[in-house]
Amino acid sequence: VNPSATPETLAPPVEACYVYGIVSRDTTLPDDLRGVGDPAGNARLIPHRRIAALVSNVHTDRPIGTRNDLLGHERVLDRLAAETVVLPMRFGAVLSGPDAVRNELLAPHHDLFATALFEFADSAQFTVKGRYVQDTVLREVLAEQPRLLELREKVRSLPSDASYYDRIRLGELLAQAFAQKRQTDGAQIVDELVRYAIAVSVHEPVTDDGVVDAAFLVEREHFERFERAAEELGKKWAERVRLRLLGPLALYDFVPKE
Amino acid sequence: LTTPTQPRGAYVDRPSSGSLADVVDLILDKGLVIDAYVRVSLVGIELLTIDARIVIAGVDTYLRFAEAAKRLDLGRPDTSGLSDLPSGLPETRAISEAAQDPDEPPVPRQREVVADGTTAGESAQDQASLSGSEERDP
């Protein structure tokens, strides 16, 4: 007797549609595009008029959200984004089946999605993130502000427990100095790239040594130009900022708002 | 897929499909929110993903900055090699003391916890190692 053969495992799993995003109806999918869930279903299209939902089957008896699921969601979207424009759903969009996808998602919002898809036709998102080369910029700040250098020397001369408040003060002033530099440096980096994009969406960096976190909407025919420009920029700023370039991606930052 | 990091350029990092931290940043915060569009047939599947990103502000940030400044080697630009040694040695000890200070456990920078136990985004360096995981497609 197999002890694992409980009634639960014998019950047929209920299948539902996990939705990755919205694409143009004439999109061709790569073969064997595995999505979220375990076992992972293959991605397929559910078309409606000019658009289609990119979905795969998931079993509703297992939770989703493992590391593999997160990577699966992104993998499906970005494999396609390399080929065509994709409006991504946020992670975790599950509908009861193909009819629900057609009748409740695609049909009522067809025009909104179609307008966005065809307006941004043949574009993708590139995300640029930058962090300061911390020691370089710390040196910069200490050289520019003798008061901070003095405070640092004081902190260094004291044992840890005796310097607590001085360390907080020093850190606060350093954080302010970084934030100030970020204002100008971040804007400058965005400025230098935005000319190669048709739109930009700028976010506040989440890490304290972050300089820039911006999403650029780039036309496919200009991908290379944008990538070259980013590389040039990385070279120019290499001493102070380490840049990361993600993309081509689905239009995470440029989805239409209802 | 290919190796997680494709160094297409020398000056810009190009992760081929994003580290877990990047992915989480994109797919949990952005994109179309289905709840805004669909109500009836939404399936209440359990989402394991816990969006526990905490941007640590205030004191912890400050202490981290101060620590970085404290251990920064500002050695005079006109000195090199051996002449740094006498001052270099005590500093090394200071670093190891700081690292082992029991009253101040190191504070994670920014943490993205996924319920399967994965912790992402502790630092840029960690992102690199996370993206190099074994879970990529062959």
Q: How far is B66 from chain A (nearest CA, A)?
A: 4
Q: Return the pLDDT at A212.
A: 96
From A205, which residue of chain B is nearest by alpha-carbon distance? Answer: B55
Helices (H) and strands (E) in chain B, counts: 5, 4
Q: What percent of chain A has pLDDT over 90?
A: 77
- Closest CB to B41: pick one of A87, A95, A255: A95
Q: Is A202 helix (H, G, I), strand (E, B) or coil?
A: strand
Decide if A96 and B32 are in contact by the 8 Å CB cutoff: no
Is B10 in Cβ contact with A235 (below 8 Å)?
yes
Percentage of chain A with pLDDT > 70? 95
Q: What is the pLDDT of residue B73?
A: 84
**A38 interfacial to chain B (CB closer than 8 Å):** no
Cβ contact (<8 Å) for A78 and B17? yes
The residue of chain B nearest to residue A126, with distances taken between CA atoms, is B14
- Spell out which residues of chain A touch residue B20, defining contact as CB-CB under 8 Å: 67, 70-71
Residue with tokens 């109500």: B39
Q: Is the minimum CB–CB distance between A16 and chain B shorter than 8 Å?
A: yes
State residue B114 phi and psi, 5-degree precision. Answer: -110, 140
End-to-end C-alpha distance for chain B, whole angstroms = 6
Which residues from chain B sit within 8 angstroms of residue A156, using beta carbons?
70, 94
**What's the distance, CA B21 to chain centroid?**
8
Q: Is the pLDDT of residue B74 over 90?
A: no
Mutate to test the interface with A, among B38, B111, B130 (most CBs of A within 10 A): B38
**Residue B31: closest CA among A76, A113, A201, A89:** A89
Local confidence band at B75 (pLDDT 50, 70, 90 cut-offs)? confident
Q: 3-class secondary structure for A122-148?
A: CEEEEEEEEEECHHHHHHHHHHHCHHH
Which DSSP category does A197 fall into? Answer: S
Chain-centre distance for alpha carbon A179: 23
Q: How far is B10 from chain A (nearest CA, A)?
A: 8
Portion of chain B with pLDDT greater than 70, in percent: 28
> Which pair of structure tokens corresponds to residue B9?
């350029």
In this predicted structure, the answer to whether residue A126 has a pLDDT above a threshold of 50 is yes
Q: What letter represents residue A222's amino acid? A: H
Least reliable range by pLDDT among A14-28, A181-195, B30-44: B30-44
More confident residue, B117 or B48: B48
pLDDT at position B125 is 38
DSSP 8-state symbol, A151: H
Q: Which tens digit of pLDDT belongs to each residue from A241-253?
A: 999 999 999 999 9
Give the residue on B whose Cα is nearest the Cα of A63.
B46
Model pTM greater than 0.95? no
Lowest pLDDT segment from A6-10, A101-105, A112-116, B52-56: B52-56
Looking at residues B101-108, what average pLDDT do you find?
A: 42
**What does the pLDDT look like over A44-66, one tens digit per residue?**
999 999 999 999 999 888 888 88
Selection from A48, A113, A35 nearest residue A74 by Cα: A35
CA atoms within 13 A on the CB side of A216: 29
Q: Do B94 and A58 touch (CB under 8 A)?
A: no
Does the structure show a pLDDT above 60 at A256? yes
Reported residue count of chain B is 138
Tokens of B53: 């990103």
DSSP for A53-109 reads EEEEEEETTS-B-SHHHHHHHHHHHHHHHTTS--EEBPTT-EESSHHHIIIIIITTT
User: Other C-beta atoms within 10 Å of A107: how many?
Assistant: 11
The answer, yes or no, to whether residue B132 has pLDDT greater than 60, is: no
Q: Is the pLDDT of residue B112 over 90?
A: no
Q: Residue B9: which pLDDT band, with cuts at 50, 70 and 90? A: low
Interface list for A 209-228 with B (CB within 8 A): 227
Please indicate whether residue A252 or residue B110 has the higher confidence score (pLDDT): A252
Q: Is residue B137 predicted with pLDDT exceeding 70?
A: no
Q: Do A167 and B118 touch (CB under 8 A)?
A: no
Q: Look at residue A76 in the predicted model and tell me its pLDDT.
A: 94
Q: What is the pLDDT of residue A223?
A: 96
Q: Write the ipTM.
A: 0.76
Please name the residues between 68 and 97 in chain A that touch chain B, using a CB distance below 8 Å. Answer: 68-71, 73-75, 77-78, 87-97
Mean local confidence (pLDDT), A25-50: 92
User: What one-letter code names the amino acid at A256?
Assistant: P
Question: Taking residues A17-21, what's their average pLDDT?
Answer: 95
**pLDDT tens digits, one per residue of A204-219:** 887 888 999 999 999 9
**Predicted local distance difference test score (pLDDT) of residue A60:** 85
Phi/psi class of residue A49: alpha, beta or left (left: φ > 0; alpha: ψ in -120 to 50)? left
Query: How confident is the model at residue B25, as a pLDDT?
Result: 80
Which residues does chain B have within 8 Å of residue A170's beta carbon, measured at their own beta carbons?
Answer: 62, 65-66, 69
Listed in sequence order, the residues at least 6 apart from A105 whose beta carbon sits closer than 8 Å to its beta carbon are A19, A53, A95, B34, B37, B38
Q: What DSSP designation does A41 have?
A: P
Confidence check: pLDDT of A110 > 80: yes
Residue-wise pLDDT tens digits, B57-66:
567 788 888 9
d(CA A97, CA A226): 40
Q: How far apart are CA B132 and CA B7, in angstroms?
A: 13
| Cα distance between residue A48 and residue B127, in whole Å | 39
Cβ of B11 within 8 Å of Cβ of A94? The answer is no
Closest by CA position to A43, among listed A54, A53, A51: A54
* 3-class secondary structure, B56: coil
Distance, in Å, from the CA atom of A181 to the CA atom of A22, rounded to the nearest integer, reads: 39
A132 by Cβ neighbours in 10 Å (0-12 / 13-18 / 19+) ranks as: buried
Any chain B CB within 8 A of the CB of A203? no
Closest alpha carbon within chain B to A94? B43
Cβ pair A205, B61 in contact under 8 A? no
- Quick one: average pLDDT of B18-36? 77
